[in-house]
Structure 1
Amino acid sequence: MSQFDEFDQKGSSPERSTGSIISHAFEIYKGIFLYAFVIMIIYIIGDFLLQLLTGFNVWGDYDDFSNFTRPKDEFWDKPGFGLYYSFSSFWNILLAPLHLGLIYIANKFNNKQTVEFSDLFIGFRQNLGQTLLYSLITNIIFAISAALCGLPFFFVYPLFMLGLPFLLFENLSAVDAISKTYAIAKEDYGTFLGTGLLGILISVLGFVLCCIGIIFTLPFIYVVMYSMYCAYCGKPRQI
């Protein structure tokens, strides 16, 4: 596939501000959320099979909200947790190409091009090895930051907001994508932090309001990544 290295002014690009980027992403997401829904269905099916394989039930005894008050150690000590977590992490890495597919669809929608279902799987044909390596590296970084009382994760995550778009639109290696997104993010960290936090908040809002709603909202963060790329690197088009 040709590299994305020209720019098309037909579509829109947001300003370099949190409000503009989130608004831009939201307008695009409204038009492509069914593809995001497909990604979540694939994730849920895979996760369900992993629970059957490992014997670990994520929800366990959580048949009512009162059970959420039980000690956290009891959850981590449940049989099969370690095995499930290992397989689940691997499953998340394998899904990274689908996230590239959603970003690709966001770009086609923004350019007012016809979107095809096969577009969702472009990540398996474009820079696949580097995408999986990037996902492995960032998942390790995110896991370590989350393990440090959780808070560092929210400060680290925004530094990687442009990584996936770089893999797709510029065909970079995993290391180069990480290096480039860090270099850009640190120059305007306040905007990246605000956009990242708000993007995450909106993505998990479906779980807060109604657990099943997260199926529709969780992939929103990847469209935010696309909008941020448009804001800081220009809006790409396929050549």
Structure 2
Amino acid sequence: MNHINKRLSEIRQNGFELDLGNLINESFENYKKIALLAGLALTIVILTLMIAAIYGMSYFVDFENFKQEQFVLDFNTFTPMQIAMYIGASAFFAMFFAPFTAGLIKIAHDVETKDEVSFSNIFDCYKAAYLKDLMLSSFIIALFTSGIAVGFQMLHLEFVGTILNYVIGFLSCLTIPLIVFGRLNAVDAIVNSIMVVTKQPLIIFLALLLAIIGVFLGLIAFCLGIFFTLPYLYSMYYAIYKNSIGFEE
């Protein structure tokens, strides 16, 4: 904790330097080491969650009399209870998925520091001491983003809501690494993620944008291809954390 607190204090006072080229090179080298393991895990987990999501959506959509326009939820037709359930379900979904996301970022670190990494290591964060902070931070963020999405959709300003949620996602992108590697609590991790990102917003934005473009190149290989390019995004999260906050030597 002394290292992370000292480093965050330095960043708060003096900022830090980031090189986009180094981020790309380091993240790609890391990606090559985790692509197979992480891609397999993502394939299994995301397909399972998609089935669960379709089942959950059956509460809001009548699939027996489904029409194409029903695919976009109109929250103005929802009761307050249904809106609360939707926002709550979205937040709980993000909360329980967070340890898996953390595991993908952690394994990006493990392949650099350990001699052997197994498939089961991706799920280590579900039994970690910081599990509650991972889940709480994701619950808080998802509660805000879901509420914003619903509110602006009801005002017919979906684009504004989408932009705001992208900004929140961008500013909070280091929350999980700060919990996993820095052992910060949920609120401190969110606050310090915002602080760190705003010190180098352009470089971090470009790095994540390039990573997302790289991920969607998986669409060229059709459906399953994206599951094996998606790990590159987590390698980029790791590279950004490593080059901005770093680890105690």
Query: Fold match, TM over 0.5?
Result: yes
Q: TM-score range by the shorter chain?
A: 0.7 to 0.9
How does 1:124-203 map onto structure 2 within 5 Å? 124-126=126-128, 127-143=130-146, 147=158, 148-203=160-215
Determine helix, strand or coil for the equivalent of 1:114: coil
The match for 2:26 is: 24
Deviations 1:179-231 (A, max 9, x none): 11111111111112212222233333324662332222234322211110110
The match for 1:39 is: 42
Deviations 1:33-61 (A, max 9, x none): 22322134112213203423543799x8x
Gaps of 5+ in 1: 7-14, 61-66
Determine helix, strand or coil for the equivalent of 1:161: coil
Specify the code of the residue in structure 1 equivalent to 2:189: A
Determine helix, strand or coil for the equivalent of 1:35: helix
More moved, 136-145 vs 41-50: 136-145
Indicate if the aligned counterparts of 1:159 and 1:181 stay in contact, CA closer than 8 A.
yes
- How far apart in 2 are the matches of 1:39 and 1:152? 27
Is 2:213 the partner of 1:210?
no
**Structure with greater proportional helix content:** 2
Indicate if the aligned counterparts of 1:24 and 1:227 stay in contact, CA closer than 8 A.
yes
CA distance 1:74–1:232, change in 2 (3 Å): closer
The match for 1:76 is: 73
Specify the code of the residue in structure 1 equivalent to 2:109: N
- How far apart in 2 are the matches of 1:159 and 1:220? 19
Specify the code of the residue in structure 1 equivalent to 2:58: G
Indicate if the aligned counterparts of 1:56 and 1:84 stay in contact, CA closer than 8 A.
no
Determine helix, strand or coil for the equivalent of 1:76: coil
- How far apart in 2 are the matches of 1:228 and 1:95? 21
CA distance 1:40–1:212, change in 2 (3 Å): closer
RMSD: 3.6
Gaps of 5+ in 2: 5-16, 150-157
Q: How many residues align?
A: 218
- How far apart in 1 are the matches of 2:108 and 2:126? 17
Specify the code of the residue in structure 2 equivalent to 1:124: Y
- How far apart in 2 are the matches of 1:51 and 1:154? 24
Q: CA deviation at 1:89?
A: 4.8
- How far apart in 2 are the matches of 1:207 and 1:88? 26
- How far apart in 1 are the matches of 2:177 and 2:92? 21
If the length of structure 1 is used for normalisation, what is the TM-score? 0.74
CA distance 1:76–1:153, change in 2 (3 Å): same
How does 1:99-114 map onto structure 2 within 5 Å? 99-111=101-113, 113-114=115-116
Is 2:97 the partner of 1:95?
yes
Deviations 1:111-145 (A, max 9, x none): 25311233212211220001001111222344456
Specify the code of the residue in structure 1 equivalent to 2:141: T
If the length of structure 2 is used for normalisation, what is the TM-score? 0.72
